Amino acid sequence: MQVVDFPLISDPKVWAMRVQECHECLVDLKDLGFNISLARASYYDGYTKVRQTVADKLVQAQALLPQGMVFLFSEGHRPVSLQREMYQEYYSVLAAANPEWDEEILKQETVKFVAPPQDVPPHSTGGAIDITLLDAEGREVDMGGILDETPDKNEYRNFTAATNISSQAKANRQILINVLSQAGFVNYPAEWWHWSYGDKYWAYHARRPYAIYGSV
């Protein structure tokens, strides 16, 4: 187990954030025609959908990248039903690997990587994205770990501030941090690839009075 010094998505302070839905539409990145790779976005058709403002902010962030680099987009919208399946699957993996853990520990460890499905999971809002970078030759840059790799497999290198990665990987993560932060996204520190705008975690981190996106 890894002690964390940041609020998890399941933290009661995050859950307590109100949602004042703005009813902004979902748009499909496949239809927008800007320079972003969707090669990883194949889990199901809706994965390339995000809220309109999220798409606009991705365009802004793309313009800030070093010349030749582009985003490799992995996931946007995810329905609550699929979130529930993913949560239970990872819970079961941890339970099988750690039979000494009680239910409370299993829940604590599961939510470090998979948001619980019962309270507006970030991806269900269309405001959360999973994203990395490609270089000028179209290769994924070294981020010190594989996008979506679970912490039980990578010694917690999925944490954004991980120290057990190379200096090049740290520099590449900083590029991602700089451009997405400037565009208005916030990072979930347990996953270097997970960023959001408009959801509860964004509202909490940005000290907004409420989230503007609920589950859709």
Known binder of ligand: residue 130? yes
Residue 123, annotated as binding a ligand: yes
The pLDDT score that the predictor gives to residue 87 is 86
Is 23 annotated among the ligand-binding residues? no
pTM of the model: 0.89
Q: Are strands 210-211 and 18-19 parallel, antiparallel or unpaired?
A: parallel
Structure confidence by residue, pLDDT tens digits, 144-187: 998 878 766 767 899 999 999 999 999 999 999 999 999 999 99
Catalytic residue among 21, 24, 89, 191: 191
Assess contact for 122 and 204: CB atoms under 8 A. no
Taking CA atoms, 128 is separated from 12, 105, 117, 133, 171, in Å, by 19, 26, 14, 17, 23
Structure tokens at 114: 């998979």
Instruction: Domains for the chain: give ranges and CATH numbers.
Output: 12-77+121-206 (3.30.1380.10)
pLDDT value, residue 155: 76
Token reading at 79: 């329905």
Q: Is 191 marked active-site?
A: yes
Give the tokens for residue 35: 């320079």
For residue 2, name the pLDDT band (cuts at 50, 70, 90): low
